[in-house]
Structure 1
Amino acid sequence: MKKTVVGTIISAALILGVAQGIFAQNIKVAVVDFDEVVKRYYKTQVYQEKMREEVIGEENILKEKIEEINQIRDEMELLSDEAKEEKEKMLQMKIAEAQGSRDQTKKEFQRKMVATMNEIFNEIYVEIEKQGKEGGYTFVLRKRVASPAIDQPIVLYADDQYEITEAIIEALNENQPVVEPDNTAKPQENAVE
């Protein structure tokens, strides 16, 4: 993220420096609210829903393991000291298994998130570049940098006529598949009185 911020600041400085030397030329600049594009791109929403479902599934698996651990603990209270030691080994093994599973799942979710979001970002970058070329823009600037640590505008002011965020969103969502409503439920038959 720091590289992105530094790169953006350097790019803006270079643009300003170069712009002074070539103001005689026709320069056309556009701005994009990248975070808004990401948020409203249908693939982002599909991915988020898919991840929500996967998280729920993994939480259910973890709950089952916790219930199994609690059951072993309950059983241990009724056992002799010698039998408790054996159950304690089993309990520790189950706890380690649950923690390992949780950690592995977390790593896998993070890996999937990075890969999927990079794919989504690349698709957005391609569309921005395409529209930049088609629109005859010299530069397309990111409107702001937003992260948990920083939320600062890069472009402090731009007239709305230079804003291409909506056009980018429309182009990206143009090929969104139509989701048919689920008609698998049986229709109710007319009740005869």
Structure 2
Amino acid sequence: MAEPDIDTCASSSSDDLIHVLAVDDCLVDRKVVEKLLKVAKFKVTIVESGKKAMEVLRLNEEKIETPTADDQKIDIILTDYCMPEMNGYDLLKVIKEHNCLKSMPVVIMSSEHVPERISRCLDAGAEDFIRKPLKPRDLKRLRNFVMPVTPTSVTGMKRKVPLEVLPENKSSERRPRLAGVVVA
């Protein structure tokens, strides 16, 4: 049986879309991920194995050049954990070992909820661990890993601000109030 080809799907204005490299050995799961991502206006490259993902990322041994995410303009990797030959954790480790790719967000997904597996992936640099099947609400999380919410100069609008952007001096900052909790 021949391996399926790499399938890249995108709309006509794909240059401004977030490009997701989705890796899953299950055809049904690949189709679900592909459909959800396309409907949510992501550019999608689907592969069926970690080894194929390495080819797309130009991490295979035959290449002498330095791999770069810009070659394919991949913005984020969404990979299944349980796959033959190379699982999602092994793919994550390979990606994080390359200086030019280690800042690329990698999200692991699995139908199995194994806390040790989740911790191991997060400790190795995964941005998140998502339970399968992928759901529409998960797509916002994927988008936020590529385009983090940053403060804007627009006044009167509430935005989430990453903690590292908050000012160090406490003289003029407003402290958040949580229902029934006082922040000291």
Q: Which has the higher helix share?
A: 1
Per the normalisation by structure 2, the TM-score is: 0.20
Rg larger in structure: 1
Per the normalisation by structure 1, the TM-score is: 0.20
